Amino acid sequence: MSSSKERVFVTAATGNIGSGVVRGLIKRGIDTTAYIRDEQKAKDLFKDELNTGHLTVVVGTYSSVDIFTKAIQGHTRLFLLFAASGTRPASMSEIKGTFAKIAFEQGVRQIVDISSAFVSSYGRKGIIGYMHFAAEEKLWTLADENSEERSLVVLRPGSFMSNHFMGDVHHIKDSNKIVSCGLPSSTMTWIDTKDISDCAVIVLSESVEKHDRNVYEMGSETLSNEQRAAVFTKVLGKPIIYEQQSMEDFYKTHISFGMSHSFVYNFALASSKNICETTTPEIALIIGRPLRTLEHWVRENIKSFE
């Protein structure tokens, strides 16, 4: 890659995946712009990276289209991630469509989009599938309007290991159990967000042609609820059990935490039908190492669960 000529624009740059993307690009000496809404958070997160002279920070949101339009000028690649809770289901496709259209018109040659494995396994079924499916459709249409100059790469990850920081962490710490409404034998395929960031960094730093129009699904390990509890048992050195609650209790509890009907319903669906159809060991061909296991992840985050 002619890294000196490339400039990468990273949305959601202070998030889990976005911050990993920024760090990875800077490590490779690639000029990078972090699009963030909280300047102080960015300064704290990227102290070292800001000292390299390769990182620029732009303050803006998904609604500040004027700021985005000005800031994206001069960039060759865009990392696109939309995560805003409480928005209308159509917001994801509207915002990604708007940002991608502007970016391509301003000369961006490659967009790397974070979608979801739900698109492969569920299509539009479930609100998360709908949101990502609709957004992908807009991006593919925009890219195909000028296939010579517009490249699109879509990453479709499975369930994030970091989801354990939401409800599970409290159950594990307070009562040595994982609680959900799936059968003990129901499976879910997990992925570490570090692997997603690393994959995005490779795609954003290799030739645009190499990855053009690939959809990369990402799933490291498929574990039943019982197997997941066993991983926590092994790493924490104390018995963690899986407890199946009724669908009604699951629904009521999550609604009481302020989640919308559509999201809770989606999670209830996913409790009996996995988000991924298979694991994806082939991602090692891109990132040059195997995907990280849940055991790696729990060991790295053990303090949060003790």
Binding site for ligand NAP (CB under 6 A): 12, 14-18, 37-38, 41, 61-62, 81-84, 114, 116, 157, 159-160, 163, 193
Query: Quick one: 160 or 265, whose CB is closer to ligand NAP?
Result: 160
Query: Quick one: 62 or 251, whose CB is closer to ligand NAP?
Result: 62
Give residue for tokens 């990604």: 96
Q: Which of 262, 294, 284, 15 is nearest to 130 (CA)?
A: 262
CA distance 275 to 269: 10
Q: Rounded to the nearest whole angstrom, what is the least distance from the CB of residue 116 to ligand NAP in the complex?
A: 4
| CA angle centred on 76, ends 78 and 106, rounded to 5° | 90
Query: Quick one: 208 or 254, whose CB is closer to ligand NAP?
Result: 254
The token pair that represents 5 in the structure block: 């000529």
Query: Quick one: 2 or 85, whose CB is closer to ligand NAP?
Result: 85
Across-strand partners of 111?
78, 152
Is 241 within 8 Å of 176 (Cβ atoms)? yes
How many helices (H) and strands (E) are present in the chain, helices listed first?
16, 12
Q: Rounded to the nearest whole angstrom, what is the least distance from the CB of residue 204 to ligand NAP in the complex?
A: 15
Query: Quick one: 82 or 208, whose CB is closer to ligand NAP?
Result: 82
The identity of residue 169, as a single letter, is V
Q: Rounded to the nearest whole angstrom, what is the least distance from the CB of residue 61 to ligand NAP in the complex?
A: 3
Query: Quick one: 14 or 274, whose CB is closer to ligand NAP?
Result: 14
Q: Rounded to the nearest whole angstrom, what is the least distance from the CB of residue 34 to ligand NAP in the complex?
A: 9
Q: Rounded to the nearest whole angstrom, what is the least distance from the CB of residue 83 to ligand NAP in the complex?
A: 4
* Edge-to-edge strand list for the sheet holding 110-114: 55-59, 31-36, 7-10, 77-80, 110-114, 151-157, 215-218
The token pair that represents 111 in the structure block: 């967009």
Q: Rounded to the nearest whole angstrom, what is the least distance from the CB of residue 120 to ligand NAP in the complex?
A: 11
Query: Quick one: 31 or 192, whose CB is closer to ligand NAP?
Result: 192
Buried b (16+ CB within 10 A) or exposed e, 230-259: bbbeebbeeebbbebeeeeebbeebeeeeb
Q: Which residue is nearest to ligand NAP (CB)?
A: 15
Give residue for tokens 């992908």: 136
Q: Rounded to the nearest whole angstrom, what is the least distance from the CB of residue 20 to ligand NAP in the complex?
A: 8
Tell me the residue length of the chain: 306
CA distance 62 to 222: 34
CA distance 281 to 278: 9
Q: How far is CA 97 from the centre of its chain?
A: 18
Q: Rounded to the nearest whole angstrom, what is the least distance from the CB of residue 15 to ligand NAP in the complex?
A: 2
Query: Quick one: 37 or 125, whose CB is closer to ligand NAP?
Result: 37
